Amino acid sequence: MKINTIKSKRLSEEIYNVELNNGLKIFYMPKKNYVKKYAIYSTNYGSIDNNFVPIGESKETIVPEGIAHFLEHKLFEEPDVNIFDEFAKLGSYVNAFTSNTQTAYLFSCVDKFYENLKLLLCFVQDPYFTDENVEKEKGIIQQEIRMYNDSPDWKVYTNCLSGMYVKHPVKIDIAGTVESIRDINKDLLYKCYNTFYNPSNMLLFMIGDIDLEKAVNIISEKQKKTEKLGEEILRVKVKEPGTINETIIEEKLSVSIPLFYIGYKDLDVGYDGEKLVHKEICSNILLEILFGNSSDFYKELYEEGLINDSFGFQYIGHRDYGHAILGGESNSPKEVYNRIKQNLENIISKGISEEDFNRTKKKLIGYHLMDFNSIENVATSFINYFYKKYSMHEYLNTLDKINVGDIEERCRSFLKKESSCLSIVNPK
């Protein structure tokens, strides 16, 4: 068994890496004397992967929206046992999630780690789809979709995505639509599973006080019947135009104060690795300087009563898409939108102070170091960066290279009014 090691001298942390013959990548971060243990089993397959060439075929297939999320639900179903009950018997917590770019299955426990690991591998690797259980699941997920469609917080967010993106599938709800779910069947589920759940498209990350050799032996035994993909998965990408879809989207739902999200579409896309993470860090520094609760602009809007402490922001960046979203509650969302655009013009003309930049840079270093106190955050961050073709241990080195000029350039190239939209949910 060949074990590679990824070390971070600055953090005094190391990660061990083993790759099986079938292509499955196993990563382990030791946390000696930690009581809690955590494992996450992830596939590089999310809600945006609806157009692809299935393994063993030559023509592209377009599958219904929401099928990755549907597949996540169905993998928890076994003919003879209840997976949640089985983990509960072991005294552990199990869950899963589907994002735009990945699907992951995870558990945390205090003891019986290896029994939990076997169970995780068994149910993810052993799909059980029938016409009957697929039809049953449709009703459950359609009800979930309807529930989210009635949620003001969710609608203001999804409407913002729809405003920014013209064609890219990131604008589609991860769960799909009530209509798209009707078109899912067991054959399509197996097609997606056989293509994207191959070990060479997956990774397993473990963290805690764990015997790596014992864990790898268990994984190898459970994986011995699976073979490495003989070909690369071909994902068919849409060409997203450099314009936004809609400037202002308004809807009425049951809220007491209007909710608003302002979206800025990132047009600088098409790459991954350190260049992508460099851009991501620049974006986060920029947003914190401009809109963080210690910024002058935030205080100004807050004191005028235009925003309250629900106001926040985030940046999401991947190879093929990226955006910043900021917002919260306001009785005058359009006024906030106009003020933000005016403030950006002022910032671009006068520049960003070195003092604000240095303070915010130190803040991001602090956030990054704090993340290492949570084994869940470490695991999810590692996987997120891995799929971006980047090592999490390089984060501080990338951050060190960024200067105030990078932030000013990012402001000019990214936060343009013509690349922005406003989503509002008003009271009925």
Residues identified as active-site = 72
Integer-rounded Cα Rg, in Å, for the chain is 23
Q: How far apart are CA 319 and CA 268, in angstroms?
A: 9
Give the bridge partners for 43, in sequence order. 103, 202
CA 184 to chain centre: 24
Amino acid in position 187: D
**Alpha helix positions (H), 292-424:** 296-303, 333-350, 354-371, 375-387, 395-400, 404-414
Q: Are β-strands 322-329 and 259-265 bridged in parallel, bridged antiparallel, or unpaired?
A: antiparallel
**Cβ-based neighbour number of residue 20 at 10 Å:** 19
Using alpha carbons only, give the angle 400, 401, 407 rounded to the nearest 5 degrees: 105
Write out the two tokens for 247. Answer: 């400037």
What is the DSSP-derived secondary structure letter of residue 94?
Answer: E
**Cβ-based neighbour number of residue 129 at 10 Å:** 19
Strand order from edge to edge, sheet including 37-43: 4-8, 13-19, 25-30, 202-208, 37-43, 103-109, 93-98
**Cβ-based neighbour number of residue 263 at 10 Å:** 24
The residue whose two tokens read 């240095």 is 358
Kindly report the length of the chain: 428
Write out the two tokens for 231. Answer: 């070909």
404-414 and 333-350 helices, crossing angle to 10°:
130
Q: How far apart are CA 413 and CA 52, in angstroms?
A: 32
- Phi/psi for 355 (5° steps) reads -65, -45
Give the bridge partners for 260, in sequence order. 328, 424
Q: Are β-strands 4-8 and 13-19 bridged in parallel, bridged antiparallel, or unpaired?
A: antiparallel
The residue whose two tokens read 């809007």 is 301
- Phi/psi for 308 (5° steps) reads -130, -170
